[in-house]
């Protein structure tokens, strides 16, 4: 947190150093990025991500789309536009925020990302990977989580609608929003996330989107069995 000297912000534990949340899902035949936040370049360099076949967007808030300019490097590597999937509101957010990308009169000397925006109307197939959109609530905004076979990613949510619980049955692992201890109007608190995780019943639960109120080691020490905080660079083999 900018300008903060709390114990977490000064922590020597690298798991307490958190960039904006994002994941890559990889199979033998596909690699998909979920969200493109302002830390995309740093994250891609750190994890040595050299190509991405498509990007799925959960919603259009700044911390999930402001890395879109860096997609132009992937365009160069893939020699074509990047397929970008999102709901109608998210795609509109992208068009408005990055208006110059879609303006035929925009100067191109500095390079522009090439984006192939595709509205999600159901499961998305990329190579041998299928992503099933899961409707979630982020405050008053309906957004998307995604299920990939027996794994689900549910960031930036504070409510799971009745229609979505059945879509989360039979998971081996789930990543779910847990911002902090006190209640928040648009994110699950840690206690709320634990209750949601119990109802989902995955064998393993990882919490994401934590703020500096949750120290990694101390919080993990008191979480129920099978639950823990995620951390930057974490890899799951499923």
Q: What is the DSSP letter of 63?
A: H
Which two tokens mark 72? 């132009």
DSSP 3-state of 132: strand
Model pLDDT for residues 23-81, shown as the tens digit of each residue: 999 999 999 999 999 999 999 999 999 999 999 999 999 999 999 999 999 999 999 99
CATH for 130-232? 3.60.15.10
| Domain 21-120 bears CATH identifier 3.40.50.720 | no
Residue 110 corresponds to which tokens in the numbers above? 């500095």
pLDDT at 105: 86
Per-residue pLDDT tens digits for 158-168: 999 999 999 99
Say yes or no: do domains 21-120 and 130-232 share a fold: yes
For the chain, give the percent of residues with pLDDT over 70. Answer: 100
The mean per-residue pLDDT over the stretch 122-138 comes to: 98
Domains of the chain by residue range? 21-120, 130-232
Which strands form 23-27's sheet, in the order they lie side by side? 23-27, 30-34, 54-56, 82-86, 115-119
Q: How far apart are CA 210 and CA 24, in angstroms?
A: 19
């Amino acid at each position: 947190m900018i300008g903060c000297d709390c114990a977490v912000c000064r922590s020597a534990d690298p798991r307490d150093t958190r960039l904006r949340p994002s994941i890559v899902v990889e199979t033998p035949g596909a690699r998909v990025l979920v969200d493109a936040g302002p830390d995309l370049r740093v994250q891609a360099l750190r994890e040595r991500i050299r190509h991405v076949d498509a990007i799925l967007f959960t919603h259009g808030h700044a911390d999930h789309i402001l890395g879109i300019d860096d997609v132009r490097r992937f365009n160069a590597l893939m020699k074509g536009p990047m397929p970008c999937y999102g709901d109608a509101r998210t795609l509109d957010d992208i068009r408005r925020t990055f208006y110059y990308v879609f303006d035929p009169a925009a100067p191109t000397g500095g390079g522009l990302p090439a984006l192939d925006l595709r509205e999600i109307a159901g499961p998305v197939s990329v190579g041998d990977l299928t992503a099933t959109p899961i409707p979630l609530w982020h405050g008053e905004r309906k957004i998307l989580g995604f299920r990939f076979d027996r794994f689900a990613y549910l960031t930036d949510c504070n409510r799971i609608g009745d229609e979505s619980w059945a879509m989360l049955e039979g998971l081996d692992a789930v990543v779910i929003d847990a911002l902090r201890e006190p209640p928040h109007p648009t994110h699950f608190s840690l206690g709320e996330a634990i209750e949601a995780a119990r109802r989902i019943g995955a064998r393993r639960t990882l919490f994401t989107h934590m703020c500096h109120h949750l120290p990694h080691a101390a919080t993990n020490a008191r979480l129920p069995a099978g639950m823990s905080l995620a951390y930057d660079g974490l890899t799951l083999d499923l």
